[in-house]
Amino acid sequence: MSSLRLHSLDLCCFIFVTNWQYLKSNLLLLGRCVQGGMPGSVRLRDNKILQRIMVRQAEEKRLYGAICAAPAVVLMPWGLHKGRKITCHPSFIGDLPTFRAVESNVQVSGELTTSRGPGTVFQFALSFVEQLFGPHSVEDVDSTLIDAGLERSTEVNRVEWPFDHKPQVLIPIANGSEEMEIIMLVDILRRANINVVLASVDKSTNIVGSQRMKIVADKCILGASDSKYDLIIIPGGPGGAERLHRSTTLKKLLKEQKQASRMYGGICYSPLILQKQGLLQDKTVTAHPSIVNQLTCQVIDRSKVVIDGNLITGKGLGTVMDFSLAIVRKFFGHGRAKGVANGMVFDYPKS
């Protein structure tokens, strides 16, 4: 999705929150490398044009920031950390000057803001919104994320999600789908060694999300329909979800998924689509507050994630990390989910 291979979670969450206020050129963000290496941060560091932009940004005392590996790998060689308190991913904290390093999730020091990793990117992005527009804007965006004060997950009618192979997950997408949910789901599930297929229900594999971010699917839905999947997950975004609902191929796949007692689910707006297809009968779910009144099944409103047998649903944007990790936990157990969360610097219960 980016020729510089920025870390997908860092980049997508930041774009969503800042697009909310149309920041445009008011600040410049450095993301970190993709999982399993850091080619992105190294390539950013070696880009002389970007270095000039960043140095000018700092000299003109405009906001700039870096997250995860980038504070150590990019900012330090450019000298943009001098005189500032700074944080970064725990793996790189030892590379920071001892008297300047802090271990907070987000550190604001003058015009520089740094953060620890994918699990802290919501806080990182909201920090910029507050600096640019004030605390009231943060409250507006934070209420959209729907995270604070909710139970992490609720499970009813508990069943095991058995498999004797590497789990196969299908995530269908369309123009207008919520890109933050898509990218975070794919990223976290692949971190856990789950095979994820991203399939477009539109004519092209090139999709434009609800926040105008471009996504390239692995294949079109027809090409993905020959395989069987352990789990099919429908992302949100009203426009995208309605386009998904109109896909006859996806309807067939979801119907077969339920009939075969295989796992399926959705997040945010998409439980309404599952209901329209008759897939929520006698089920308990959670969903985005804007559609709860349209659901006829039982709704648990105070939980980020609800698992009912082979069905999993998530509440919204701010709950997608918990939603993704709940899938990892159901497939592999708590230990794997905790390990993935730790790598992202995301707060997750010990047991």
Contact partners, residue 231, CB within 8 Å, separation at least 6: 161, 167, 168, 169, 170, 262, 263, 264, 265, 312, 327
Kindly tell me if the per-residue pLDDT of 237 is higher than 70. Answer: yes
User: What's the pLDDT score for residue 149?
Assistant: 74
- What is the average pLDDT score of the chain? 87
User: What's the pLDDT score for residue 221?
Assistant: 96
Structure tokens at 136: 């009231």
Q: Which amino acid is at 167?
A: P
* Alpha carbons 190 and 79: distance in angstroms, whole number: 35
**118 touches 190 (CB < 8 A):** no
User: What's the pLDDT score for residue 74?
Assistant: 92
Which long-range CB contacts under 8 A does 53-61 form with residues at least 24 apart?
53/28, 54/28, 54/30, 54/78, 54/80, 55/80, 57/27, 57/28, 57/111, 58/111, 58/112, 61/110, 61/111
Banded model confidence at residue 278, pLDDT cuts 50, 70, 90: very high
Structure tokens at 149: 């004060």
Q: Which residues of 95-133 are buried (b: 16+ CB within 10 A; e: fewer)?
A: ebeeebbbeebbbbeebbbbbbbbbbbbebbbbbbbbeb
Provide mean pLDDT across the span 108-134: 91
Q: Among 203, 209, 212, which Cα is nearest to 186's?
A: 209
Banded model confidence at residue 37, pLDDT cuts 50, 70, 90: very low
Banded model confidence at residue 36, pLDDT cuts 50, 70, 90: very low
Provide mean pLDDT across the span 330-339: 95
Give pLDDT tens digits for 208-228.
998 888 999 999 999 999 999
User: What's the pLDDT score for residue 63?
Assistant: 92
Give pLDDT tens digits for 140-176.
776 666 566 788 899 999 999 877 899 999 999 999 9
Kindly tell me if the per-residue pLDDT of 7 is higher than 80. Answer: no
Kindly tell me if the per-residue pLDDT of 6 is higher than 50. Answer: no
Kindly tell me if the per-residue pLDDT of 263 is higher than 80. Answer: yes
User: What's the pLDDT score for residue 71?
Assistant: 92
Which long-range CB contacts under 8 A does 134-137 form with residues at least 24 apart?
137/21
User: What's the pLDDT score for residue 98?
Assistant: 87
Residue with the two structure tokens 């943060």: 138
Kindly tell me if the per-residue pLDDT of 107 is higher than 50. Answer: yes
Within the chain, strands assigned E span 28-30, 64-67, 106-109, 112-115, 154-156, 168-173, 195-200, 206-208, 214-216, 219-220, 231-234, 263-267, 284-285, 298-299, 305-308, 311-314
**127 touches 113 (CB < 8 A):** yes
Residue with the larger pLDDT of the pair 136 and 6:
136
| % of the chain beyond a pLDDT of 70 | 87
- The sign of the CA dihedral 295, 297, 303, 305 is negative
- Describe the strand order of the beta sheet including 106-109 as a list of residue ranges: 28-30, 64-67, 112-115, 106-109
User: What's the pLDDT score for residue 151?
Assistant: 87
Structure tokens at 147: 């995270």
Residue with the two structure tokens 């930041």: 14
Give pLDDT tens digits for 285-307.
999 999 999 999 999 989 999 99
Contact partners, residue 259, CB within 8 Å, separation at least 6: none
Domains of the chain with bracketed CATH = 8-145 (3.40.50.880), 154-342 (3.40.50.880)
Kindly tell me if the per-residue pLDDT of 28 is higher than 60. Answer: no
Kindly tell me if the per-residue pLDDT of 15 is higher than 60. Answer: no
User: What's the pLDDT score for residue 137?
Assistant: 79
Banded model confidence at residue 95, pLDDT cuts 50, 70, 90: very high
Among 35-44, 54-63, 324-333, 336-345, the range scoring the smallest mean pLDDT is 35-44
Kindly tell me if the per-residue pLDDT of 351 is higher than 80. Answer: no
User: What's the pLDDT score for residue 101?
Assistant: 93
3-state secondary structure of 130: helix
User: What's the pLDDT score for residue 314?
Assistant: 96
Residue count of the chain, please give it. Answer: 351
User: What's the pLDDT score for residue 134?
Assistant: 86
Kindly tell me if the per-residue pLDDT of 13 is higher than 60. Answer: no
Other CB atoms within 10 Å distance of the CB of residue 308:
23
Banded model confidence at residue 9, pLDDT cuts 50, 70, 90: low
**CA 273 to chain CA mean position, Å:** 21
